[in-house]
Amino acid sequence: MLVFSAMGSEESVVVKKNSVLTINLKTNIIDSPTEEQKGLFGFSDKNKSILIYDAIEAINKAKTDDNIKGISIEADQLTAGITQIDDLRNAIQDFKKSGKFVYAYGNAVSQSSYYLGSVADQYYLNPSGMIELKGLATEVTFYKDFADKYGIGIEVIRHGKFKSAVEPFLRNDISPENKEQLSTLLNDIWKNTSSRMAVSRKIDTAQFRTIVDSLYGMIPDLGLKYKLADKLIQKTEYDQLIKSKLNLKDDEKVNKISLGKYVASYSDDEKSGDKVAVLYASGSINGGDNYNDIHSEQYIKYIKDLQNNDKVKAVVFRINSPGGSANASDEILFELQQLKKKKPLIVSFGDYAASGGYYIAMAADKIYSEPNTLTGSIGVFGVIPYFKDLANKNGIRADIVATNANSQYYSSLNGVTPYGVSLITRSVEGTYKRFVHFVTQNRKKTFEQIDNIGGGRVWSGTRAKQIGLVDELGTLNDAVKFAAQKAGLKSSYTVSSYPKRMTPFEQIFKDFNEDDISARVVKSKIGKANYEILQQIVEERKLQSEVKMEMPYQIKID
């Protein structure tokens, strides 16, 4: 019954007259098909999860669609990354040139949701609502004292004073270098976002800073007084206001249509002819073969398929990754280099393109970054945990019998031998040199120039453009247009997404195991952000002895 119900026909969508394109709580903006939110048994709703590329195209289409009279933003909590919100905001700003209205309404509004909603012509807030406008902050957790207390040894090898992914295991406070890069990053991102909110709301920059510092948005009357909102009204009154705007009669209903359903009303995945392929790479980079995240075996298949597909004339590689395995990153880069020999390869950065995520971009003909993309982090590290002191305190010890001098260079009970440390250090240094080598080739700079801006440091997209780590500041849509131009394509080309979304039948049987179901249950209970923190603590891959190219943290505008 589950199989046949999941494989049922798609609901046809018709856009009615006097419709309002609506961005609401059900709108889940994703960067890649692999990020689709799924229920307990793996089923997803395409009308709720929408690719950022499709969302932008939908807003652009709505601008000239006579059936769409305006946009209503009704999202208190927005499921989207900072660069995705930037792109949505830009598209809505352009939509306003049509003369159609853009209204927004909120109850308990998160900072990211207000960042999007502030672009509206009018912003309405519930009389007992609030806007959590507070700026950006980060909190770094340290484990060194905990490890020392309980006898857990952690051997760390890294290249780059800014490679702070391992800092929590080495110190019990933040280093000056890490504090410097975090402060620069946060201020870059906040400068971009806060200035845009202030301009949209017609608030002086100095006054806007006072509003944020004082948390005035938390009190609805103060939010109204200081122009964060235009009026305090109930949701029913807001809907009536839209009805009046559309000149509807009392017995007529406002036709609200979500972004997802609007895309479904006109999209056609089976179009023929020349194509620009967008290959999405979202999540951590690992070895192996899996649909979620970026697994090298799976992506090698994708890349080879695109290389051999004659209908695909150009490829845009969309990266939204903080990095991961150095080996897996290297495998993916090699295959992309082969692809580039046959057709144009343009790279577009999402929220993250750091460490391994930056490394795999080094085959690109051209790199587009968003202003708020976290990029760079050109550095390498290895972390090796061992439990000798903890074991000894509890009456456990181990002796080693081996055939060769370094048969047991590492043991979870006895740690790493001095020769093992020196060998891993050579591996880290060699990987770093290989990393910088590919960057010098792509960015046309010397080793010294890249080393000076490398060392594991993470930059905003704006600064990455200034120091030459990327070519242009632009959206995924900009990258697609350039790829088509480079391939000599005109308006007749279509855009195809890879990997393809899984069919309901595939969702049932792919990774349908006890661990996968348990993970979904936990994630649904504690939320995606908390689940990611839990993964960092308990997953073995975070403490493997494998050499890593991984960014130390994530930054969310919430």
The set of catalytic residues is 163, 355
What phi and psi, each to the nearest 5 degrees, are found at residue 429?
-65, -40
Closest CA to 463 of 183, 205, 53: 183
Other beta carbons within 10 Å of 161: 16
Do 425 and 128 form a contact (C-beta atoms < 8 A)? no
Q: How far is it, in rounded angstroms, from Cα 457 to Cα 378?
A: 7
Q: How far is it, in rounded angstroms, from Cα 418 to Cα 529?
A: 39
What is the helix (H) or strand (E) element at residue 352, kind and residue range?
Answer: strand 345-354
Q: How far is it, in rounded angstroms, from Cα 83 to Cα 94?
A: 17
Other beta carbons within 10 Å of 511: 13
SS3 (DSSP) at 442 = helix
Closest CA to 320 of 290, 287, 293, 286: 293
Judged by phi (left if over 0) then psi (alpha if -120 to 50, else beta), residue 494 lies in beta
Cα torsion through 345, 349, 350, 352, rounded to 10: 130
Counting Cβ atoms within 10 Å, is residue 9 exposed (0-12), middle (13-18) or buried (19+)? exposed
Task: Please list, in sequence order, all residues whose beta carbon lies within 8 angstroms of the beta carbon of residue 200, skipping any fewer than 6 positions away.
Answer: 118, 119, 120
Closest CA to 436 of 449, 447, 426, 425: 447
- Residue 479: C-alpha distances to residues 50, 108, 350, 491 (Å): 19, 36, 12, 15
DSSP β-bridge partners for residue 38: 44
Q: How far is it, in rounded angstroms, from Cα 247 to Cα 265?
A: 25
